[in-house]
Structure 1
Amino acid sequence: MEFDFSWPVLWNGLFWPLIRLTFFISVALLVGIVIESLHWTRFAAKLAEPLARRARLKDVSAASFAMAFFSGLTANTMLSGAHERGDISDRELILSNLFNALPTYFLHLPTILFIATPFIGAAASIYVGLTAFAAVLRTMAIVLAGKFLLPPLEEGCIPCRLDEMESMRDTSSALKKAWKRFLKRLPRILFLTCPIYALFFFLKQAGLFAWLQDGLAGTVPLFTFLPPEALSIVAFHMVAEFQAGLAAASALMTDTALTQTQVVLALMLGNVLSSPMRAFRHQFPYYAGIFRPRMAFKLILYNQVSRGVSIALVGVGYAVFSMYF
């Protein structure tokens, strides 16, 4: 086994790519956080009233949907209060919480997109677009389910609380909070990105991926649609954070022959497999503080099942489309 650690190899294969990656990640992360903090996704919340009417959801559910574009905590607190007062049933609480999948996703979409783009380029738009489409499918499924599972609404207008949110916004304060969030999140991202990128550089030098190709090909029948290199993206996505999977994908796209489709499918598979445990680990304490523990467990379970199924369906559709077109 021969290692080439000459300066040209280290500079071109490790140091310069990491410098470029760090710069673009810093810029992209700051832009994404500013977009979130200034609520520039506000226009999409106008979907709340017609969608809520079709889903037979009450005014508090529609207001929660609109509020979820700005704060998931506030949206869930509204639903919890209405449920405790008896304004909405258990069934409507569950459907309303699932109904918020779309605004909850769009709340963080700018940051996800701006973080992913420096890592995997054009594949980021495809990945984000597919996962966003999965969120749209989940919301549409809830609209359809509501028509069959909930009683008809009483006549009247569903109030919109967007003006109240607009009046609460302070641009100067939002920018200060955005800068604080940036300073807090950037070191965490780089702490994962730099070691993982370096690790993949040295693993390639050690011939690991050639060994995987020879030793593991055909031994993972469930995931035979992905090469062994792509499965490492899935593994990093599962055992670490989203940025770890992106760092692995970036290194592999640079140093191996992974296609854009394989990278996107690996990230989607990692998304499906990693989300449930991460959700229960991080979300349950927060949900249990808003809802009763039993209901909090049910909400997380329903969310994860619907999320996994929708992303899997979209991923299969994308794989089939890529195969024939």
Structure 2
Amino acid sequence: MVLDLSWPVLWHGLLWPLMRLTFFISLGLFVGNLIESLHWTRHAARLADPLARRARLKDVSAASFSMAFFSGVTANTMLSEAHEKGTISDRELMLSNLFNSLPTYFLHLPTVFFIAAPFIGATAAVYVGLTALAAVLRTGAIVAAGRFLLPPVPEGCLPCRLDEAEAKRDRGSALRKTWRRFLKRLPKVLYLTAPIYTVFFLLKQAGLFAWLEDLLAGQVGLFSFLPPEALSIVVFHMAAEFTAGLAVASALITDAGLTQPQVVLALMLGNVLSSPMRAFRHQFPYYAGIFRPRMAMKLIVCNQALRVVSLVLVGTVYALLA
């Protein structure tokens, strides 16, 4: 297969996205280090402390949870820094990253809803509500898992490692410390993220991801609980993108008379089948720039596995009750 490596394709498909990705990772890295240096972690941790304490997660995990409502990159950077210092173990890093699935979801929820609503009206509220419920269930599962898998957090230790934060802060010193740590960490981000992103770009140009998505889309016939018209929503959701699935759903609600449950289940099925591959394609390059590549892979796999299980569980209950 001949790869299209013309300048417009390289610029729009590789160089500009890579520059944006590097910028936002760098920004998240700098902000995460600055929060740490100024000891603002203490205040961010207070917001999520009750829930994190139930999960036996430390202060940095609670702070990361709070920060994930605003920036997933900064939240992950905080966890990565703590893990490299030995503040949190591999197990707690895994659980903390999974713990952040709720704020990460709510970070994108307005965009999802306001894209879906013009296409499918009130059905968008049902679909978004079910996916939000799945995110809440994931967080509940992580809280329960933390109580079994992590040692108890000592009473009154919030934050366990930041008792010195109440002392007078030298902001100039904090900024210098942040800058030194940023310059030390940035090359690692660039050395890992740029090559990995380039490889994924070339694989996309070679048609690998399109082939995999078409392969999965060809299996929708296995889901006979949906009418053939609804399966077309799944196919377009997978072969193109979320908006294409919504456009098809909008047309079929009018022309084919699909019911609200059928449309919701078709969108959820398309979500379950398409998201893992797309998440891996888009997340791995930036995760590998924040975490070690092996850990990045483990985090993405566990995140997607938990996400699929929660969506299938919520979708199954909805199908039985609808």
TM range (shorter): 0.5 to 0.7
> Could you list the per-position Cα deviations for residues 208-235 of structure 1 after superposition, in whole angstroms to 9, with x for gaps in the alignment?
xxxxxxxxxxx96631110011111101
**Aligned amino acid, residue 285 of structure 1:** P
Alpha-carbon distance in 1 for matches of 2:301, 2:116: 27
**Residues 1:135 and 2:131 aligned together:** no
1:178-197 matches, within 5 Å, as none
| Closer, same or farther: CA 238–47 of 1 in aligned 2, 3 Å | farther
Alpha-carbon distance in 1 for matches of 2:156, 2:143: 19
Q: Offset of 1:49 from its aligned partner?
A: 1.3
1:224-263 matches, within 5 Å, as 224-263=224-263
Alpha-carbon distance in 1 for matches of 2:132, 2:233: 20
Q: How many residues align?
A: 221
Alpha-carbon distance in 2 for matches of 1:126, 1:241: 20
| Closer, same or farther: CA 118–157 of 1 in aligned 2, 3 Å | farther
> Could you list the per-position Cα deviations for residues 263-309 of structure 1 after superposition, in whole angstroms to 9, with x for gaps in the alignment?
00000000000011001100000100000000000000000000000
In structure 2, the residue matched to 1:59 is 59
**What's the TM-score once normalised by structure 1's chain length?**
0.66
Range moving further from structure 2, 243-252 or 58-67: 243-252
| Closer, same or farther: CA 242–282 of 1 in aligned 2, 3 Å | same
**Residues 1:100 and 2:100 aligned together:** yes
In structure 2, the residue matched to 1:288 is 288
> Could you list the per-position Cα deviations for residues 113-132 of structure 1 after superposition, in whole angstroms to 9, with x for gaps in the alignment?
11110000010000000000
Q: Offset of 1:157 from its aligned partner?
A: 5.1
Alpha-carbon distance in 1 for matches of 2:98, 2:251: 35
Alpha-carbon distance in 1 for matches of 2:46, 2:243: 32
1:83-162 matches, within 5 Å, as 83-156=83-156, 158=158
In structure 2, the residue matched to 1:312 is 312
In structure 2, the residue matched to 1:192 is none
> Could you list the per-position Cα deviations for residues 168-187 of structure 1 after superposition, in whole angstroms to 9, with x for gaps in the alignment?
xxxxxxxxxxxxxxxxxxxx
**Aligned amino acid, residue 309 of structure 1:** V
Show structure 2 runs of 5+ residues with no match. Answer: 1-44, 160-218
| Closer, same or farther: CA 277–156 of 1 in aligned 2, 3 Å | same
SS at match of 1:289: helix
Q: Offset of 1:158 from its aligned partner?
A: 3.2
**Aligned amino acid, residue 272 of structure 1:** V
Alpha-carbon distance in 2 for matches of 1:220, 1:129: 24
Alpha-carbon distance in 2 for matches of 1:53, 1:274: 34
**Aligned amino acid, residue 106 of structure 1:** F
Taking only the aligned residue pairs, the percentage that are identical comes to 79
In structure 1, the residue matched to 2:265 is 265
Structure 1 vs Structure 2 CA RMSD = 1.9
**Aligned amino acid, residue 59 of structure 2:** D
| Closer, same or farther: CA 246–94 of 1 in aligned 2, 3 Å | same
**Aligned amino acid, residue 60 of structure 2:** V
- Aligned residues of 1:57 and 1:96 also touching (Cα < 8 A): yes
**Aligned amino acid, residue 133 of structure 1:** L
Runs of 4+ more than 6 Å apart: none
**What's the TM-score once normalised by structure 2's chain length?**
0.66
Q: Offset of 1:254 from its aligned partner?
A: 1.7
In structure 2, the residue matched to 1:39 is none
In structure 2, the residue matched to 1:301 is 301
SS at match of 2:290: coil
| Closer, same or farther: CA 262–125 of 1 in aligned 2, 3 Å | same
**Aligned amino acid, residue 244 of structure 2:** A
Q: Offset of 1:46 from its aligned partner?
A: 7.5
Alpha-carbon distance in 1 for matches of 2:133, 2:251: 27
SS at match of 2:106: helix
**Aligned amino acid, residue 75 of structure 1:** A
| Closer, same or farther: CA 158–243 of 1 in aligned 2, 3 Å | farther
| Closer, same or farther: CA 220–128 of 1 in aligned 2, 3 Å | closer
In structure 1, the residue matched to 2:76 is 76
Q: Offset of 1:154 from its aligned partner?
A: 1.8
**Residues 1:50 and 2:64 aligned together:** no
Alpha-carbon distance in 1 for matches of 2:261, 2:47: 32
**Aligned amino acid, residue 48 of structure 2:** A
In structure 2, the residue matched to 1:12 is none
Q: Offset of 1:155 from its aligned partner?
A: 2.2
Alpha-carbon distance in 1 for matches of 2:156, 2:72: 26
